[in-house]
Amino acid sequence: MDGSTAGLLVLFVVSLVPLLPTEVTILGMGIEAAQGGTSLALVIAVASAGCLASDQALYALGRFGGRAALDRLSRRKKIAAGLGWLDGRLQRHPRPVLVVARWLPSGGTLGALLAGSLRWPMTEFFTASAVGVTLWTSYVAFLGYAGGRIVTEPGISLLLSLAVALILGSVITYSVKHSAVTAGASPRAGDSATRTP
């Protein structure tokens, strides 16, 4: 097994397991693609497959024990803020909200658990999840790729790509928190899991 194949295997496993550093791994593989180590399309495909499989498992978990899982996750401040934003919007605009949620801290995890606990039709969730993971993994991989093209030193290009991702992620998170406060949304854990669609 060569280094490129091993990297793709690691990428798949990290994308598959919730709360592992998926973004950093995709950025790193995007940089490797920019420097000729592997195909960018393959990086996006592998990361998307891992995230999509993870979403389906989380959706199933949400259907059978969503409230308990959400309560545990929401003890973290950033996750509670994302949950508060999702809480009031998921039933009104489910597909677009699930796509946007990918850019929030642990948004994909929370969105999948909420969708399962609200008992969305599986086909609707799968479609929204597929669109969301493809857009998000492409965005992150392209950031890494751009960093790798601008700066050829892998460590510096990773730092550059991480800085851009952190700035963009912070802007998105701030906007979401601000809109949640403006709308009077309360980031209480597990509220959505008790509602019916």
According to the 3-state scheme, what is the secondary structure of 152-170?
Answer: CCHHHHHHHHHHHHHHHHH
Q: What is the CA radius of gyration of the chain?
A: 17
**pLDDT given for residue 194 in this prediction:** 37
**pLDDT given for residue 188 in this prediction:** 42
**pLDDT given for residue 89 in this prediction:** 72
**pLDDT given for residue 72 in this prediction:** 74
Longest dimension (CA), the chain: 53
**pLDDT given for residue 40 in this prediction:** 94
pTM for this model (two decimals): 0.75
What are the tokens at 59? 């959706």
**pLDDT given for residue 78 in this prediction:** 64
Burial of 133 (0-12, 13-18, 19+ CB in 10 A): buried
Cα angle 66-168-124, degrees, rounded to a multiple of 5: 35
Distance of CA 85 to the CA centre of its chain: 15
Contacts of 171 (CB under 8 A, 6+ apart): none
Give yes or no for a contact between 31 and 157, defined as CB atoms under 8 angstroms apart: yes
**pLDDT given for residue 111 in this prediction:** 86
Q: CA-CA distance, 85 to 118, in Å (whole number)? A: 16
What are the tokens at 133? 């993971």
**pLDDT given for residue 161 in this prediction:** 65
CB count, 10 Å around CB of 185?
20
10-residue stretch averages of pLDDT, the chain, 197 residues long: 79 90 88 86 96 95 78 70 69 78 80 85 92 94 86 69 68 60 45 38
**pLDDT given for residue 176 in this prediction:** 56
Contacts of 134 (CB under 8 A, 6+ apart): 44, 48
